[in-house]
Amino acid sequence: MRTVVKNDKGQIKPQEFMRESPAAIVVVPYKKRGAFNAFKRSLDVIFSLLGLLILSPVFLVTAIAIKLDSRGSVFFSQIRVGKKGKLFKMFKFRSMCSDAEEKQAEFLHMNENSGPTFKITNDPRVTKVGKVIRRLCVDELPQLLNVLRGEMSIVGPRPPLPCEVDKYTAFHFKRLDITPGLTCYWQVSGNKNITFDEWVQMDINYINNRNIIEDIKIILMTFQLIITGKGADCKCSKKNKKEIKAG
């Protein structure tokens, strides 16, 4: 594993991690959307402010439940990689034991994901309250603060860990072209068993075809996921599915 290298702006330098030769790098062009990005940012600020205000009672109840359930802080922060490799601190409600990161090495052999990501369906590090807030997606709510600060957006590729980016290929780096988000195609696709490359292809499809209508559909499908507890079928873009299969 290579050491993560940052420039003077705190950004990961992609060239430090490219395993392919320059000739092997495939650049997938996408249209610049200045007006769209400005409008999306304004919506992010409005929705994150409203969310933080309206959901403040949920924040309070969740914080009390976490404190009563297990030792450790209420919030969990972690360095993530944002747009163009810029590092930022992402916030979550703590859903695992306080030494979860130290214990991860013990469970690497149980990893169910392909590629650089790590996930266990019934992770033994998750607390009782953690299981509930994860099922309801409440653990992600503090990221509304990241959205308000401009480090994240409501919709966009999920922000990776630096150690995951350390294993990226040129193809994977494409997902860092835009601001990461709270929710994305993958989260509402209804299929969490796809490969990492398929996940990245979903992100690239979003980057190349993103628009306000698509964002609204993803947000509505995310609410459906939270309410029903089931992944919604990603009907928001038939083209997205076709491109994945053709991948």
DSSP code at position 141: T
Tens-place pLDDT, residues 191-244: 667 888 999 999 999 999 999 999 999 999 888 887 776 543 334 344 444 443
pTM of the model: 0.78
* Residue 45 CB neighbours (<10 A): 14
> Mean pLDDT score of the chain, rounded to an integer?
82
Rg of the chain over all Cα atoms, to the nearest angstrom: 18
Tens-place pLDDT, residues 104-120: 888 887 877 777 888 88
Cα separation of 91 and 108, whole Å? 24
* Domain ranges for the chain: 33-246
Q: What is the pairing mode between strands 75-81 and 87-93?
A: antiparallel
